[in-house]
Amino acid sequence: MLTHFDRHGPSRLRLISALALLWTIWFVAIPAAAQTRAAVDSAGRTVQIPARVSRVLAAGPPASVLLYTLAPEMMIGWVQEPSPEEKAYLAAPYRDMPAHGRLTGRGNTANIESVIALKPDLIVDVGSTDATYVSLADRVQQQTGIPYVLIDGRLARTAETYRTFGAIVGRQERAEELARYAEATLRDMRQRVEAVPTDRRLGVYYGRGARGLETGLSGSINLEVLDAVGARNVAAAAGKGGLTTVSLEQILAWNPDVILALEPQFYRDVAHNPLWSGIKAVRDRRIYRAPSLPYGWFDSPPGGNRLIGLRWLVAVLYPDTGANDLRQATRGFYRQFYHVQLTDALLDGLLRDAVSPPP
């Protein structure tokens, strides 16, 4: 005799199979849609990103600084392979990661095919959020299918930069820590500089390149540190814009009180070059070189790395403001942002040319 189950077995099995198939379809399809979320970047773009971000590609050097300082475990690699000198100031788990090239800025080296092959969850660019960069972000996102966010990189917005990106990648607690450091630094340096009488605010020339003839005009993101410490960019007399090449005759006419160098060669040569000898900064031996390991303290690139540059510049321009404990400040910054404990030798290497004129 057939049991109740046996009599209805085939139809019941078919029903169970059908329900299982529907469950499988729901389980795959519904969570797939739920695995993305909307993020709003600094340009006001709404971008659908994975609910959980674990692999991020930096589009350019400022983005690489932001990613390394906030969430190095999410890095796919470096925009440009760090030099041996730079690696000494980077944390061991990350310093030897491969380079993937850059998508934006001068000298792009990454292409769409290589970006897709890396399989990032997200692409991030930091800096300007104007129409040019919005167009680039939209185009790359459309070509690759990879979400691409733009983050404001202005110095005054550094805290907001960390908070915005931290929310996007799910690192809010770490972002808040770095944002508060940025706010405290900007506030502290502003208060110290406000105590300096206006007639004592110095005229500064920032020279890039081996000859020192590349500089930033008024409004250049590369010269934001000068504005933040109340100094006067003498090259603003040449107009408004970004980086440009100027002549020695122009610099002689501007007669800066202080010269800041980026390259070691310019730092060494300018003090002994008779063509520069008529400039007040050279006569007074007020020539300093901005530290640049692993990232520049002044610009190069213009990112969160400039926070320690604010403390350095206030210390060398206005030493009587009390902002001159650079050794302690530098150790703390490198530990908090770059994940490294500086030895005395590494610290000496950073500060040697930064606080005294060339021999």
pTM (predicted TM-score): 0.87
- The reply to whether 239 and 101 lie within a common domain is no
Mean pLDDT of 162-176: 97
- The reply to whether 121 and 223 lie within a common domain is no
- The reply to whether 106 and 222 lie within a common domain is no
In-domain check, residue 12: no
Q: How many domains does the chain have?
A: 2
Quote the CA–CA distance of 112 and 135 in Å, as a whole number: 15
Yes or no: say if 94 and 77 are a contact pair by the CB < 8 Å rule: no
Please tell me the least confidently modeled range out of 13-27, 96-110, 152-166, 314-328.
13-27
In-domain check, residue 302: yes
How does pLDDT run across 129-161, given as a tens digit for each residue? 999 999 999 999 999 999 999 999 999 999 999
Report strand pairing: 203-207 vs 232-233.
Answer: parallel
Residue 71: give its domain's CATH number: 3.40.50.1980
Residue after which a domain boundary falls, among 128, 152, 176? 152
- The reply to whether 347 and 206 lie within a common domain is yes
How high is the pLDDT of residue 9? 52
How does pLDDT run across 22-80, given as a tens digit for each residue? 444 444 444 444 589 999 999 999 999 999 999 999 999 999 999 999 999 999 999 99
The pLDDT confidence band at residue 4, using thresholds 50, 70 and 90, is very low
In-domain check, residue 37: no
- The reply to whether 148 and 284 lie within a common domain is no
How high is the pLDDT of residue 325? 86
How does pLDDT run across 194-214, given as a tens digit for each residue? 988 888 899 999 999 999 999
Quote the CA–CA distance of 327 and 159 in Å, as a whole number: 23
Residue after which a domain boundary falls, among 152, 177, 208? 152
Domain extent for 223: 199-351
Quote the CA–CA distance of 297 and 79 in Å, as a whole number: 19
How high is the pLDDT of residue 54? 97
Mean pLDDT of 94-118: 84
